[in-house]
Amino acid sequence: MPTRRRIRLTVNEQPYEAEVEPRTTLVDLLRGELGLTGTHVGCEHGVCGACTVLWNGRAVRSCIMLAVQADGGTITTVEGLGRDGELHPIQQAFLEEHGLQCGFCTPGFLMSIYELLERSPDPTDEEIKDTLGGHICRCTGYQQIVAAVRSAAAKLRSPAAGGYG
Amino acid sequence: MAVETPRTLAEMPTSAPRFVGRPVPRVEDPLLLTGRTEFIDNFTLPGMLHCAILRSPHPHARIRAVDTSEAEKLPGVVAVLTGADVKRWTQPTPTVPPGWGGHCLATDKARFVGEPVAAVAATSRYVAEDALELIVVDYEPLPAVVDAARALDPGSPLLFEEHGSNAMLQRVFTWGDVDGAFAGADRVLTDRFRWHRVGANPLETFGVVSQWDLVDGSLTCRGSFQSQFHMAIARALVLGLPSHKVRLISHPHGGSFGGKGGARGTDITALLSRKSGGRPVKWIEDRMEYLAGGASQAWDRHYEASLALKNDGTVTGFRVKLLDDLGATAEGWGAVSAAKPLAAFTGCYAIPTAQYDLTIVATNKLPGSPYRGMGPPPHNWVLEQMMDVAARELGIDPAEIRRRNYIPADQFPYTIASGNEYDSGNYEATLAAVLEMSDYSRLRAEQAEARQNGRWLGIGLVNTIEPGVFDWNAYAVVGQPGTGVPEGATVAIDLFGKLLVKVGFALEGQGQYTVISQVLADYFGVELADIRVVPQDTLSAPPHFGPGGSRLGVAITGAVLGAAELLRRKLVKVAAGLLQAPPEMVELMDGKLRLRGVPGAEMSIAQVAGAMLARSDLLPPDVDPNPEATYVWTAPGRTPADDQGRAKSYLTAANACHLVLVEVDIETGKVEILKYWIADDCGTRLNPANVEGMTQGGVAQGVGAALLEEYVYNEDGQLLTSTFMDYLLPSVYEVPMTEKRALVTPSPFTPLGAKGVGEAAMHTTPAAVMCAIQDALAPLGVRVREVPASPHRLWSLLKEARRS
């Protein structure tokens, strides 16, 4: 059996220690060991973007990253977005703009959009396309997702953002 | 007995609808947005094992022996399943046409690359996959047939030796005097077309958790089942269990588009559970398994089509010869896709005669499955492309030739040559809307000017019918029995006036729980938050089918309105007793049971339901004290198919007109979509934002089919597109942002006048994009006859045209 390795992570502001086989993917650790099943697996080869999480603030595909590679890092998943049962403004924008249908790809989109809006609070059309271009949505045809990104950006820029952003 | 339900919003018991017809936010979204929806891979049971499946690397091979001894010794492995087990324990899967299916694992031979051959249940998926590497299969490779045209050659290898041929079905359907129409035509136009395999690719693959109770002799399967009922009856037949011992629980799923499949995976996990002493077994299909061996592929078609044409542009006959390559078996219900075009064979046009010469063949490729649209998308492309061929031949504008052939708005309901009845429509109005939105004549001028400057712009103008609310009778021609597809709902009011709705389907993405909530909130005068939709399993739900064939929005509206009406009758009776008035004086309006003409004499639904549940002493003696009702809706007026397959099949006929502007780079063959306009008419829009989402999503899948997506097998039968690096799905870069306009011609036959619209633009976009490309390249002498119009394909055509 492959030797297990001990790793330490901060996930959604909680410290974790886990013993993993080196071959364990980050998404399998998050979903299987930590029970954070909001991150979904769509293709397992890094194309569809459904499994995107933030690792040290960067959007990464957790299906092609090994858990041991994430050792020592800080991770945010979709479970870390809202607070106390409230939707994050990006989630709220998706709700209002009908930015989702089956919702399976949505957590991945949310994490990449979160990274985009942290970096660029008033993104250009090209920046939005560049971010969404790394994700496949099979349901919506993207139009309502683009609208949701614009709406989310406006929400986060407004003084009423409530400490988000 | 059918219950009368409101046919229009005005007939609802509300003075001002607050929810139906408005783009209200979806009730299902907060859970989805926070990652808390219970997709099947999020679900675990104590003691659960994980399954991995070994698949054939050969397109056609006899299986001489399977040695599982080393795999069984691997720590963590609990059970290994082989063809010998499934032969002993299962019946071949039922198919249409009948007799073209195998078992969940290959038994004597494998018929396609990716066919399951053995399976392992182990303590983790990692261990299960390790074990697959220890299984030794002794294959005897057989010659394979990959090309549909060669599958019918006398010397071709046979997929099913017992049939003596690879022809699964050969039939000619003739509607009207088609020979006379062609003999009397001013011109006859004929062309050939090729549509390559595409498929559904929901972002979530199929998954299942099965548990076989060895004491009880029962099976419970939880999974991402598009239609749990349909899966359940087939499992009972295949696994040899009495139907009431099979319980399927559909979990919310991450899209389906017809392509969720899962019959083999469900049987494999069920049998592994049986072999593991009843421990639950989970299998989550990975993406490569989906692409190579799942319900992922559809519509592998070779067409020859002819139009009988008058010089004034009138089309008098339409002939289609289709060679449909269904792959290795008929297990995926893919043959249904060849039958569905009968529901709208002649599109928006009043073409009086038609003929369908249909051959379905078996080849050593993955069995075909349903995909959004279920067959018409390629057929629509053929018809619409032929209309453009006719327009060019006669020098008539594509808009004008269509207008001259439309079914006139005053002739609905209209029975088309192939037998289905269209409920309502106004195709000229839809066309006019799109021409106006796009400023069509200016666009043509722009195109002419661009050509002068060496830019090759093309305009695609296409209109199609979306048959809505499928019926089994539509598929009688390929061997599917039955007429009528029931959909049931139970509506209950609790002690506090909250509504509970029980249905037989899980979330899939179309927003049906929102639609149910909108309808009932207006009916009973409550808020959306006062309603909770609770999906039931196959043993607890009323008769149901679930989503499919653009049916559920209409069907579930009918079911909940029927249940609401039955419930209203009970409430009226109780309220009449409590208000001491005759029942005919009591009405439901705006959430109150009120005495007509007596202001203030009224009770809330909570008060009435509360009396029913907690004050039996106050109730009239002959009332049913249960504030709950169940209604099962079926489409009215369906007829069995006649000897030419003609039937009143799909209840509704939505229509759409798309206009797309593309530019083709003739140096590279790359197509760019510059602008896209849509006018569509699906009757009453219960939730316009849902409809818009369905439409735009259909555009995306249509663009994928027209330009990007293709399953490619090499001549040896090996799949070359088994990842998303090779099978290209459209991203935000390829999908156009569209301008949409809604027209509303209500259906006279459905609750509230809504029409099926779930397949939406998938019916129209592939044809629109292809016609636009053809329009761009026609002056260069290029004929675009193959889908997808990938850059290398167009580049080759352009090179060829230059050479000649």
For the residues A121-148, what does the mean pLDDT come to? 98
Q: Per the domain annotation, does B155 fall within a domain?
A: no
Would you state the pLDDT for residue B13?
97
Q: Which of B217, B210, B215, B207 is nearest to B279 (CA)?
A: B210
In chain A, residues with a C-beta closer than 8 Å to the C-beta of B701 are 138
Contact A23 B700 (CB under 8 A): no
Same domain, B563 and B699: no
In chain A, residues with a C-beta closer than 8 Å to the C-beta of B205 are 42
Q: Per the domain annotation, does B171 fall within a domain?
A: no
Domain total in chain B: 3
- Closest residue in B to A38 (Cα) is B35
Rounded-to-5 percentages of helix, strand, coil across chain B? 35, 25, 40
Contact A79 B34 (CB under 8 A): yes
CA dihedral over B33, B39, B45, B47, signed as positive or negative = negative
Same domain, B719 and B760: yes
Same domain, B538 and B619: yes
Task: State the average pLDDT for chain B.
Answer: 97
Contact A38 B36 (CB under 8 A): yes
Contact B735 A101 (CB under 8 A): no
Three-state DSSP at A69 gives helix
Same domain, B574 and B646: no
Q: What are phi and psi of B603, to 5 degrees?
A: -135, 150
Same domain, B541 and B688: no
Nearest to B29 among A1, A95, A133 (CB): A95
Rounded-to-5 percentages of helix, strand, coil across chain A? 40, 20, 45
Q: Per the domain annotation, does B588 fall within a domain?
A: yes
Would you state the pLDDT for residue B576?
97
Contact B287 A138 (CB under 8 A): no
Q: Which of B44, B568, B475, B87 is nearest to B284 (CA)?
A: B44
- Closest residue in A to B255 (Cα) is A102
Compute the nearest-CA separation of A3 from chain B (Å): 14
For the residues A89-104, what does the mean pLDDT come to? 98
- Closest residue in A to B701 (Cα) is A138
Nearest to A103 among B32, B287, B729 (CB): B32
* Tens digits of residue pLDDT in B171-206: 999 999 999 999 999 999 999 999 999 999 999 999
Contact B287 A45 (CB under 8 A): yes
Compute the nearest-CA separation of B330 from chain A (Å): 26
Neighbours of B593 (CB within 10 A): 24
In chain B, residues with a C-beta closer than 8 Å to the C-beta of A78 are 34-35
How does residue A2 score in pLDDT terms, banded at 50, 70 and 90?
Answer: low
The CATH number linked to B266 is 3.90.1170.50
Same domain, B728 and B717: yes
* Tens digits of residue pLDDT in B522-576: 999 999 999 999 999 999 999 999 999 999 999 999 999 999 999 999 999 999 9
Interface of A with B in 12-31 (CB under 8 A): 21, 23-24, 31
Q: Per the domain annotation, does B438 fall within a domain?
A: yes
Residues whose CB is less than 8 angstroms from the CB of residue B750 and which lie 6 or more positions away in sequence, other chains included: B7, B423, B469, B554, B557, B558, B651, B652, B683
Contact B41 A107 (CB under 8 A): no
pTM for the predicted model, two decimal places? 0.97
Q: Which of B398, B327, B314 is nearest to B369 (CA)?
A: B327
Compute the nearest-CA separation of A78 from chain B (Å): 6
Taken as a whole, chain B contains a residue count of 804
For the residues A40-47, what does the mean pLDDT come to? 97
Would you state the pLDDT for residue A142?
98
Contact A102 B254 (CB under 8 A): yes
End position of a domain, from candidates B633, B662, B677: B633
Compute the nearest-CA separation of B255 from chain A (Å): 5
Same domain, B438 and B550: no
Q: Which of B324, B301, B335 is nearest to B99 (CA)?
A: B335
Reported ipTM: 0.97
| Ranges of H-type helices in B580-724 | 605-614, 688-703
Strands (E), B344-441: 353-362, 414-415, 421-422
In chain B, residues with a C-beta closer than 8 Å to the C-beta of A148 are none
Name residue A107's amino acid. P
Same domain, B44 and B31: no
Task: Find which of A24, A47, A104, A129 to mutate to test the B interface (most B CBs within 10 Å of its CB).
Answer: A104
- Closest residue in A to B510 (Cα) is A101
Sheet hosting strand A14-20, strand order edge to edge:
A14-20, A5-11, A74-76, A52-55, A58-61
End position of a domain, from candidates B573, B608, B633: B633
Contact B732 A140 (CB under 8 A): no
Three-state DSSP at B627 gives coil
What whole-number distance in Å separates Cα of residue A138 and Cα of residue B258?
A: 13
End position of a domain, from candidates B242, B275, B293: B293
Q: Which of B115, B120, B123 is nearest to B134 (CA)?
A: B120
Q: Per the domain annotation, does B677 fall within a domain?
A: yes
The residue whose two tokens read 């066309």 is B431
- Closest residue in A to B509 (Cα) is A102
Name residue B617's amino acid. D
Neighbours of B147 (CB within 10 A): 15
CB A18 within 8 A of CB A29: yes
Would you state the pLDDT for residue A164?
66
Compute the nearest-CA separation of B126 from chain A (Å): 9
Contact B34 A105 (CB under 8 A): no
In chain A, residues with a C-beta closer than 8 Å to the C-beta of B507 are 102
In chain B, residues with a C-beta closer than 8 Å to the C-beta of A143 are 696, 735, 737-738
Q: Which of B702, B727, B730, B728 is nearest to B713 (CA)?
A: B727
Neighbours of B614 (CB within 10 A): 11
Sheet hosting strand B592-595, strand order edge to edge:
B586-589, B592-595, B602-604
Would you state the pLDDT for residue A1?
53
Contact A141 B699 (CB under 8 A): yes
Q: Per the domain annotation, does B178 fall within a domain?
A: no
Q: Which of B413, B265, B423, B418 is nearest to B338 (CA)?
A: B418
Contact A101 B509 (CB under 8 A): yes
Spans of chain B, pLDDT less than 70: 1
In a 13 Å sphere around the CA of B742, the CA atoms on its Cβ side amount to 18
Same domain, B23 and B133: no
Neighbours of A31 (CB within 10 A): 21
Interface of A with B in 55-94 (CB under 8 A): 77-79, 81-82, 87, 91, 94
User: In this structure, what is the dihedral angle of CA atoms B662, B665, B670, B671, given to the nearest 10 degrees?
Assistant: 0
Domain of B322?
301-393+418-475+639-803
Q: Per the domain annotation, does B152 fall within a domain?
A: no
Would you state the pLDDT for residue A159?
79
The CATH number linked to B662 is 3.30.365.10
What whole-number distance in Å separates Cα of residue B503 and Cα of residue B540?
A: 9
Would you state the pLDDT for residue B804?
83
Same domain, B609 and B743: no
Residues whose CB is less than 8 angstroms from the CB of residue B316 and which lie 6 or more positions away in sequence, other chains included: B181, B184, B185, B308, B309, B310, B351, B352, B353
DSSP secondary structure code for residue B509 in this structure:
S
All structural domains of chain A, each given as residue ranges with its CATH number in brackets, are 5-79 (3.10.20.30), 89-158 (1.10.150.120)
Same domain, B653 and B765: yes
Q: Per the domain annotation, does B82 fall within a domain?
A: yes
User: In this structure, what is the dihedral angle of CA atoms B442, B444, B446, B451, given to the nearest 10 degrees?
Assistant: -170
Same domain, B340 and B460: yes
Nearest to A104 among B204, B697, B724 (CB): B204
Strand duo B246-250 + B218-223: pairing:
parallel
In chain A, residues with a C-beta closer than 8 Å to the C-beta of B769 are none
